[in-house]
Amino acid sequence: MSQQHSVTAPCSHGQLSGYVHSTESGAGVDGPGMRFVFFMSGCQFRCQYCHNPDTWKLHAGRQLTVDEALAELAPYAGFLKFAGGVTVSGGEPLMQPEFVGALLHAIKQRFGLHTALDTQGFLHESISDDWLADVDLVLLDIKHSDPERYRQITGQPLQPTLDFAQRLKRLGKPIWLRYVLVPGLTDDLDDIGRLADHAASLGDVVQRVEVLPFHQMGADKWAQLGLDYPLANTPVPSAAMVAAARQQFAARGLVVC
């Protein structure tokens, strides 16, 4: 069992700093409505289909305090109150749990906005249940149902992510489950069916499943970083393949997008 220290969101840590790779002020695919997104630096996964390998290094971004991050959000807060909210993504946000926890808490206290956390949950033992109280929605990436294939794709074990899903179920925390469909890698319907069974077992907390078709938009970033892109010759999935994958989840009574 991990011996990582549990972190709770502090009440006032405006000068606490973290590394933010980038932000986006009009995102429409990172949670409900229009979102302001903080893309955090750092990720311990090395997913074969990652389209943001430039976020992998922890210090590959701007060092901002919580107050500085809030200042960048502030001009949009009034609009976002009615139109959407804020998503903290990455990279992997749980690489910087103290900063992200303080940021989420401050967003709630200062602006009262809807918050979403985009994560694969691998590092969830580094945060407490109280930390998650400032998260309204978890966008949970589960990249495969088979542990060996999962490790092949990501370089990390699957079980911590499944444990996090069970924790979210216990807390009644809403989940949007995300699954990237990659031809020849994550498109086996039996494997998808097993993941769909697991998602259905989580009950009502799984509000929707997003099957995300693989694309090649990250290939240039791999090249710019001098990295060998393992999926350079992988095609995008066909419409029929995407429909078949989505049907696996829909057949279990899940809402699929």
Hey, which residues does 138 pair with through a beta bridge?
A: 117, 175
Quote the pLDDT of residue 184.
95
Question: What does the pLDDT look like over 29-74, one tens digit per residue?
Answer: 899 999 999 999 999 999 998 888 889 999 989 999 999 999 999 9
Asked if residue 38 belongs to a domain, the reply is: yes
Residues above pLDDT 70, as percent of the chain:
95
**pLDDT attached to residue 12:** 52
Q: How many domains does the chain have?
A: 1
218 part of a folded domain: yes
What pLDDT does residue 3 have? 38
CATH number (domain holding residue 154): 3.20.20.70
- Domain assignment present for residue 214? The answer is yes
Q: Is residue 221 part of a domain?
A: yes
Look up the domain containing 96 and give its range.
17-250
184 within some domain:
yes
Q: Has residue 57 been placed in a domain?
A: yes
Q: What is the pLDDT of residue 190?
A: 97
Residue 3 lies in a domain: no
- The pTM for the full model equals 0.92
Please count the residues of the chain.
257
Give the per-residue pLDDT at 49: 87
On whether residue 29 sits in a domain, the answer given is: yes
Tokens encoding 192: 């998808």
pLDDT of residue 33: 96
> What is the per-residue pLDDT for 62?
95
Show the tokens assigned to 20: 């933010």
Check residue 6 and give its pLDDT: 39
Beta strand 62-65 with 34-40: parallel, antiparallel or unpaired? unpaired
The low-confidence residues of the chain, meaning pLDDT below 50, are 1-11
115 and 80 in contact (C-beta within 8 Å)?
no
